[in-house]
Amino acid sequence: MEAVSQISEFGKILIFLITGILAVAFAFFVSRRLSPNNPNAEKLTSYECGEEPTGNAWLPFNSRFYVIALIFLLFDVEMVFILPWATVFGDKTIMSIDNRWGWLSLIEMFVFLGILILGLIYVWVKGDLDWIKPKPAIPTTDTQVPVSLYQQLNKQQGAYKVKDFSLEPVATQQTATPAAATAAPIRKPMFKPTFKKPDNES
């Protein structure tokens, strides 16, 4: 008579999860107890790629970082797809069963790489990979307003004044008197709701 397992498959998964959580907690506990703790001002500062964090954190962010991150993500995904292709193409067992699997994966990978390389060439020719573009593109518009009018407007002193930042609420001036505010007519609702009594059931 075969022995019946007392633990179901979900029970095994639960034991696996509990063991993993306990192992991670034990590693953190040992690291906390054994590692030296000598905090100072240099260690407690924010790490900004090795640069000294100075000024306000809300600064304009260069959009070229976003382009570089997209290119890195593009080729990172490419490596994820190349790994199973190389596994299938290099497996002699799969190739011996049906030789078409190897050729299918080879053609598929060349199509995928061709699309990525075509996109990379397009971005390269467009100049988006250059950190400092040699020829900055000056925007032009077809407006009828002369440039001298904009320059004259920018030279005006005191035309635009930036208000100082304050956490205190700004008191608004009330133009209407309290008597006038109370004398305003009260608007009646546009319709009057009516309720119909249900008919008595006989």
What are the boundaries of each domain within the chain? Answer: 64-126
Residue 115 above 90 pLDDT?
no
Q: Is this structure's pTM higher than 0.85?
A: no
Q: What is the pLDDT of residues 122-137, one digit of tens each?
A: 888 887 777 776 676 6
Please report where in the chains the tokens 């133009």 appear, as a residue: 175
What does the pLDDT read at residue 190?
61
Cα pseudo-dihedral 48, 49, 54, 55, rounded to 10: -70
